[in-house]
Chain A
Amino acid sequence: MASDDSCIANGRYKYIHDDHKDSIEAIDAHHVVVQTNNSRVFFVGLSALLLTATAVSLSLLKDESILILLWSLLLSALLVKLFLRKPVEKESIIIMSAFGVQLETQYGSGRTVRRFIPIDKILKPVLNECVTPVTCYWSLSLIVRGDEELTLVFKELRPPVKMLIPIWKALCAAATNSPNDS
């Protein structure tokens, strides 16, 4: 089964496209994987280390109670747990042109959230510019029949527009080729 893989990467995200064109199930999967941020790992590790070192020195040199050491160990463990592990591992969209579209989010804790949208409910995929008080970014959304609000394809991540464009084109092709056009 030949699969057509293409990969675009920028510092923060990596985009993988699995296109199983020749297989019996014609599915088109697009994944956006969050890269490990080395500088963040370094920063978090360093601050945890500093915190523990300060607590140890305080308890040993100044004869402070052992409670402070315990609290600082707890705090650094919490810090490492919260910030070292990525909140989101991967977000993907699987396009099955005859059936529909599956949106999947894989969190760092192991939990995976999936949502399926049937093909005849998708009216149009749109690329929107979202403006926040500090920045402006592109997002890909689907106009779903019956829903007042747009459905974001990538709920948690903000991939750059060059990763969103092939996905948008694939969604447009799938939406226009669907048998139910009205």
Chain B
Amino acid sequence: MGERSKHRILMVSDFFYPNFGGVENHIYYLSQCLLKLGHKVVVMTHAYGKRSGVRYMTGGLKVYYVPWKPFVMQNTLPTFYGTLPITRTILIREKISLVHGHQAFSTLCHEALMHARTMGYKVVFTDHSLYGFADAGSIHMNKVLQFTLADVSQAICVSHTSKENTVLRSGLPPEKVFVIPNAVDTAMFKPAPERLSSDEIVIVVISRLVYRKGADLLVEVIPEVCRLYPNVRFIVGGDGPKRVRIEEMREKHSLQDRVEMLGAVPHSKVQSVLISGHIFLNSSLTEAFCIAILEAASCGLLTVSTRVGGVPEVLPDDMVVLARPDPMDMVQAIQKAISMLPKMDPQAMHLRMKKLYSWHDVAKRTEIVYDRALRCSNQNLLERLSRYLTCGAWAGKLFCLVMIIDFLFWHLLQVLQPAKDIEEVPDIILPNCQYGEKSGDFSDA
């Protein structure tokens, strides 16, 4: 077990801070843990409003907010070759050895991975969500995914269910896909210092109130549970198009004093909302992995969830009660959970979660994937084109054409802006004190 070499990684995604979400947090925590392991991490994303240019985050994490305008759902406008110059500049400046793209729905990720492959860099892709196969949007996205993954070095999925989904959608050989689950920041999600009294049972729901997250199920389940158990109260946090339906349900059954609507809860306040409850209810209709239930379990709540996607893989059986996405089944699951409550110990659950899930573990496993990716052989253009041809009768030829044009653009760019004109950035050495200035080591530049 010799010393592992240190990598220089570029994380690419449309989704990053200042947005908060599963993918954004994943990239941030993974980058921080990789920095602690001694690797160099740079993040590339699109500009968010006025936040454009180079920014530094905790631990010296450098983020490039490239001024491409997002056009729909936080995604950059897909121009195929438009991002080639800036991607090439960043890869050369930071002396990157490996590019890691996140989320199949991010156009910047697909473009950056395509350009990185053209320029000969090794590429890793992480898929965070499950997608369908049948509707028009999914068909097109799966084709794009097939194109990107045809030539990826390694892929990572967040659960075994997600691996199956990704492999079926993209036609990638399963040996190339690693499963590394997400983790939770157990230092932030701690249980309440004193146990809550159990004469009134509080059920917490925090999710975006959209169809995909099962808001319609909540509309059926909440009145039924309130009818069966007079001592149960609900706290609903989150906002979305389905919020109106839940408010209507509240009015119809006169549950204003038993169902509290908090509206959108900022990420920093989630823990304080969670520790005010005994049970966490998750009603999603599809989930590749569910970080929300990890956060709830880390705070010592018992979880009731729908048995969909990767949810059964997340928690041990004594910490979660699963049900079909059907209102009656969910009501029965809540009944079972209420009866299990006296045996639960929040502090013990928190300590268990600390051992089971940690971002440092995710970073170590990801490091193994990077080592494997860097050992992949270098292939020239012709060998890589043969892989694209297998994507389909028409699509294969189209993909080959796209890659050939990208290759030609790259050579044109090498003539117009030679690599020696792009200056490499010296590594900034952070002093140990937190509030000190960062001083660059410019003496040898």
B53 touches A129 (CB 8 A): yes
Task: Give Cα distance in the complex from A161 to B445, angstroms.
Answer: 8
- Residues of B contacting A136 with CB < 8 Å? 54, 64, 86, 89-90, 93
**With an 8 A cutoff between CB atoms, is B224 at the interface?**
no
Q: B residues within 8 Å of A by Cβ?
A: 52-54, 64-68, 82, 85-86, 89-90, 93, 417, 421, 423, 425, 440, 442, 445
- Residues of B contacting A131 with CB < 8 Å? 52-54, 64-67, 86
Q: A residues within 8 Å of B by Cβ?
A: 10-11, 127-136, 138, 160-162, 165
Known: A133-B66, A133-B86, A160-B423. 12 other contacts (CB 8 A): A128-B54, A129-B53, A131-B54, A131-B64, A131-B65, A131-B66, A131-B86, A134-B89, A136-B90, A160-B421, A165-B442, A165-B445
Shortest distance in angstroms between B146's beta carbon and chain A's nearest beta carbon? 28
Give the contacting residue for A134; candidates B53, B54, B86, B445; CB below 8 A: B86
Closest B residue by C-beta to A132: B67
Number of A-B pairs, beta carbon distance below 8 Å: 46
Interface residues of B: mostly helix, strand, loop or mixed?
Answer: mixed
Shortest distance in angstroms between A125's beta carbon and chain B's nearest beta carbon? 13
- Residues of A contacting B64 with CB < 8 Å? 131, 136
- Residues of A contacting B53 with CB < 8 Å? 128-131
Top 5 A-B pairs ranked by shortest CB distance?
A134-B85, A129-B54, A131-B53, A161-B423, A136-B89
Closest A residue by C-beta to B84: A134
Shortest distance in angstroms between A168's beta carbon and chain B's nearest beta carbon? 8
Task: Give Cα distance in the complex from A10 to B420, angstroms.
Answer: 11
- Residues of A contacting B93 with CB < 8 Å? 136
**Could you show 14 A-B contacts with beta carbons less than 8 Å apart?**
A10-B421, A127-B440, A128-B53, A129-B425, A131-B67, A131-B86, A132-B67, A132-B86, A133-B67, A133-B68, A133-B86, A135-B89, A136-B86, A136-B93
Task: Give Cα distance in the complex from A11 to B417, angstroms.
Answer: 12
Closest A residue by C-beta to B424: A161
Task: Give Cα distance in the complex from A146 to B395, angstroms.
Answer: 59
Given contacts A129-B54, A131-B86, contact A162 B67 (CB under 8 A): no
Shortest distance in angstroms between A131's beta carbon and chain B's nearest beta carbon? 5
Shortest distance in angstroms between A128's beta carbon and chain B's nearest beta carbon? 8
Closest B residue by C-beta to A11: B421
Shortest distance in angstroms between A10's beta carbon and chain B's nearest beta carbon? 8
Shortest distance in angstroms between B86's beta carbon and chain A's nearest beta carbon? 6
- Residues of A contacting B89 with CB < 8 Å? 134-136
- Residues of A contacting B445 with CB < 8 Å? 161-162, 165
- Residues of B contacting A165 with CB < 8 Å? 442, 445
Task: Give Cα distance in the complex from A128 to B86, angstroms.
Answer: 17
A135 touches B86 (CB 8 A): yes
- Residues of B contacting A128 with CB < 8 Å? 53-54
- Residues of B contacting A161 with CB < 8 Å? 423, 445
Closest B residue by C-beta to A129: B54
Shortest distance in angstroms between A30's beta carbon and chain B's nearest beta carbon? 16
Task: Give Cα distance in the complex from A161 to B85, angstroms.
Answer: 19
Task: Give Cα distance in the complex from A3 to B200, angstroms.
Answer: 86
Task: Give Cα distance in the complex from A134 to B86, angstroms.
Answer: 5
Task: Give Cα distance in the complex from A161 to B67, angstroms.
Answer: 22
- Residues of A contacting B68 with CB < 8 Å? 133
Closest A residue by C-beta to B90: A136
Closest A residue by C-beta to B417: A135
Closest A residue by C-beta to B426: A161
Task: Give Cα distance in the complex from A182 to B244, angstroms.
Answer: 57
Shortest distance in angstroms between B332's beta carbon and chain A's nearest beta carbon? 55
Task: Give Cα distance in the complex from A130 to B68, angstroms.
Answer: 14
Task: Give Cα distance in the complex from A10 to B421, angstroms.
Answer: 9
Task: Give Cα distance in the complex from A132 to B423, angstroms.
Answer: 16
Of the candidates A11, A134, A165, the one having the most CB atoms from chain B within 10 angstroms of its own CB is: A134
A138 touches B67 (CB 8 A): no
Closest B residue by C-beta to A134: B85
Closest A residue by C-beta to B64: A131
Closest A residue by C-beta to B443: A165
Shortest distance in angstroms between A20's beta carbon and chain B's nearest beta carbon? 25
Shortest distance in angstroms between B108's beta carbon and chain A's nearest beta carbon? 12
Shortest distance in angstroms between B132's beta carbon and chain A's nearest beta carbon? 34
Task: Give Cα distance in the complex from A128 to B56, angstroms.
Answer: 12
Shortest distance in angstroms between A85's beta carbon and chain B's nearest beta carbon? 22
Task: Give Cα distance in the complex from A128 to B65, angstroms.
Answer: 14
- Residues of A contacting B66 with CB < 8 Å? 131, 133
Shortest distance in angstroms between B93's beta carbon and chain A's nearest beta carbon? 6
- Residues of B contacting A133 with CB < 8 Å? 66-68, 82, 86
Task: Give Cα distance in the complex from A136 to B64, angstroms.
Answer: 10
